[in-house]
């Protein structure tokens, strides 16, 4: 589990296609003693398992599922990536709960810089939008961000200077794709209220939209 507070920017060292999967080597600012085989690392928001470590370079295998759902299959050597190590029980949760399970991608449709901040708009698939709320949290390329606005096929966020300087988001341009993970809390609430459990109805709990509205949650 991660927080969406990016620790460092790494770079792609090597991309090796291996059938339907891909093995990618990343340069890292962390030394051999801080990363070991089997560890989890968030790369642009996708949780990967470290296969091997050599100095400050680590390798990870990217499955067919991850390649199909994220932008990792499009990475090229020397491309920068956002890196975050897993949350520990003693850490402060400064961002929000990020699992590293990317839901899909979004495409940048606009960016506007004003007084050091950057407002970026994205177009994404409609199936992700029910799990987002204005002023709620969303992970974009692994970065914990606040949703400014939502509309029928997209959203906007504002990037403050601190985030611009310490992540890859400020390097993105219109037309670029990014990974999106919606808030896990929103997913469970939506699933609970929909009453769906696979193909079957979940047991009725009495908690629904009408109940929430009656008790002030509108």
Q: Scanning the structure block, which residue is given the tokens 């959203």?
A: 155
pLDDT in tens, 144-178: 999 999 998 999 999 999 999 999 999 999 999 99
Residues 141, 159: Cα–Cα separation, whole Å: 13
Residues 18-48 have pLDDT tens digits of 888 899 999 988 776 778 899 999 999 999 9
Helix residue ranges per DSSP H, 37-159: 64-69
Cα–Cα distance, 148 to 156 (Å, whole number): 5
The answer, yes or no, to whether residue 201 has pLDDT greater than 50, is no
Range in 50-54, 156-160, 190-194 with the lowest mean pLDDT? 190-194
Global pTM value: 0.85
Walk me through the domains of the chain, giving residue ranges and CATH numbers.
Answer: 8-84 (2.40.30.20), 104-190 (2.40.30.20)
Q: What H or E segment, with its residue span, contains residue 192?
A: helix 184-194
Query: Where would I find the beta strands (DSSP E) of 36-172?
Result: 40-43, 46-54, 57-62, 80-84, 104-114, 117-124, 137-140, 143-151, 154-159
- The DSSP output letter for 2 is B
Looking at residue 206, what is its pLDDT? 56
Question: In this structure, what token pair is assigned to residue 48?
Answer: 């990967």
């Amino acid at each position: 589990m991660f927080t969406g507070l990016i620790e460092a920017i790494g770079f792609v060292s090597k991309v090796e296609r291996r059938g339907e999967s891909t093995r990618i080597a990343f340069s890292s600012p962390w030394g051999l003693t801080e990363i070991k085989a089997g560890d989890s690392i968030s790369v642009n928001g996708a949780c990967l398992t470290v296969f091997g470590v050599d100095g400050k370079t680590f390798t990870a295998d990217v499955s067919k599922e991850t390649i199909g759902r994220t932008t990792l299959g499009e990475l090229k050597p020397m491309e920068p990536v956002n890196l975050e190590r897993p949350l520990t029980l003693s850490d402060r949760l400064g961002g929000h709960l990020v699992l590293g399970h990317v839901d899909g991608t979004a495409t940048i449709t606009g960016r506007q810089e004003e007084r050091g901040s950057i407002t970026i708009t994205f177009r994404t698939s409609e199936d992700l939008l029910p799990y987002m709320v204005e002023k709620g949290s969303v992970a974009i390329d692994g970065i914990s961000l606040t949703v400014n606005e939502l509309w029928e096929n997209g959203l906007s966020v504002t990037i403050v200077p601190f985030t611009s300087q310490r992540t890859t988001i400020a390097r993105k341009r219109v037309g670029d794709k990014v990974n999106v993970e919606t808030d896990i809390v929103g997913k469970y609430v939506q699933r609970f209220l929909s009453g769906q459990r696979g193909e079957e109805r979940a047991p009725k709990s009495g908690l629904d939209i009408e109940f929430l509205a009656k008790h002030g949650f509108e």
